[in-house]
Amino acid sequence: SDFETILLDRRGRVGVITLNRPKALNALNAQLMGEVVAAVEELEQDPEIGAILITGSERAFAAGADIKEMQPKTFADVYAEDLFTQWDRLSAARKPIVAAVAGYALGGGCELAMLCDFIIAADTAKFGQPEIKLGVIPGIGGSQRLTRAVGKAKAMDLCLTGRNMDAEEAERAGLVARIVPAADLLDEALKAATTIAEMSLPIAMMAKEAVNRSFETTLAEGVRFERRVFHSTFATADQKEGMAAFIEKRAPNFSHR
Ligand code: HXC
């Protein structure tokens, strides 16, 4: 793959996307947005890939949308191109996506992390929605996903003051699944992604779909959806294999079917 602003690596069944514009702290310009989306869609199509990991550098996961690229645009420009709509294609991905965040995850960087299914943070991570300081508001879902993740009080605090929160506060608030020492971030995140990728792929996809449904529907409808999908797991070879392996006291050998 001839990407210029990201690196794409296959580590076993995990596709690792590393944001790679170090001089701009991985600011999300149009090229990087297009490349991340293309890489995720390539990994989605690859039957050998069971999970995706998105990470940045030690200093920054991403310091936001590219301010230099955005600054001269007019309303007519951003409306006509529907600026940032391409990022919605990440939320359409069906394979699990883990974000490994060290350093700054600000603005669009925080929003990209929240587009992933869960966040593993280094103890150096800093999250925020500082758009208000630039005279704009979040535009890649921050006002919606942050509010669902941390509740109104903290979402309002972050979106209105533009302050950052550190990894500890982010974990306490429910934005982050786990915190690890910065030196271990990639290992730990890869371990988590590998664990997921070694599960049955269709079952992992169903689990992701079921959790995501809770954001879109009532509790009763969500539970009904879960029950039906749970029933459909019995149509897979991997349900037979997973349960047989338990009974026979051995590791399962999933065929991803
Ligand atoms: C373009 C950026 C950038 C960004 C950093 N850089 N963030 N370029 N867009 N979002 C560039 C700097 O211009 C600089 O380039 C280089 O990266 C290093 O950054 P410094 O500021 O010198 O580093 P430091 O002093 O360590 O400060 C780090 C920082 C700061 C606190 C993260 O860079 C910062 O505040 N960045 C902007 C954060 C932000 O506002 N993000 C939200 C963006 S809006 P040069 O060439 O000068 O050395 C957004 C909108 C989403 O995401 C959708 C709604 C519109």
pLDDT at 243 over 90: yes
Q: What is the pLDDT of residue 171?
A: 98
Q: What is the pLDDT of residue 111?
A: 98
Q: Is 190 in the pocket of ligand 1 (CB under 6 A)?
A: no
b (16+ CB within 10 A) / e for 235-248: ebebbebbeeeeee
Q: What is the pLDDT of residue 52?
A: 98
Q: What is the pLDDT of residue 122?
A: 98
The residue whose CA is least distant from atom 10 of ligand 1 is 64
pLDDT at 179 over 90: yes
Pick the closest to residue 237 from 208, 211, 213, 202 (CA basis): 202
Q: Is 110 in the pocket of ligand 1 (CB under 6 A)?
A: no
At 143-165, the pLDDT tens digits run 999 999 999 999 999 999 999 99
Q: What is the mean pLDDT of the chain?
A: 98
Assigned token pair, 238: 């991997």
108 classed as catalytic = yes
Cα(230)–Cα(246) distance, rounded to whole angstroms?
Answer: 18
- Going from the Cα of 50 to the center of ligand 1, the distance in angstroms, rounded, reads 33
Q: Residues 131, 142, 155, 192: which is the catalytic one?
A: 131
At 51-87, the pLDDT tens digits run 999 999 999 999 999 999 999 999 999 999 999 999 9
Q: Residues 62, 107, 111, 122: which is the catalytic one?
A: 111
User: pLDDT-derived band of residue 189, with 50, 70 and 90 as boundaries?
Assistant: very high
The residue whose CA is least distant from atom 9 of ligand 1 is 66
Q: What is the pLDDT of residue 16?
A: 98
- Going from the Cα of 221 to the center of ligand 1, the distance in angstroms, rounded, reads 42
Question: Is the pTM here over 0.95, yes or no?
Answer: yes
Nearest ligand 1 atom, CA 133: 40
pLDDT at 1 over 90: no
Alpha-carbon torsion, ordered 242, 246, 251, 253, to 10 deg: -20
Q: Residues 108, 109, 128, 142: which is the catalytic one?
A: 108
Q: Are the C-beta atoms of residues 26 and 56 closer than 8 Å to each other? A: yes
Q: Are the C-beta atoms of residues 122 and 182 closer than 8 Å to each other? A: yes
CB count in 10 Å sphere of residue 104: 25
Q: Is 136 in the pocket of ligand 1 (CB under 6 A)?
A: yes
- 185 by Cβ neighbours in 10 Å (0-12 / 13-18 / 19+) ranks as buried
Per DSSP, the three-state class of 220 is: helix
Mean pLDDT across the stretch 230-251? Answer: 98
The residue whose CA is least distant from atom 53 of ligand 1 is 139
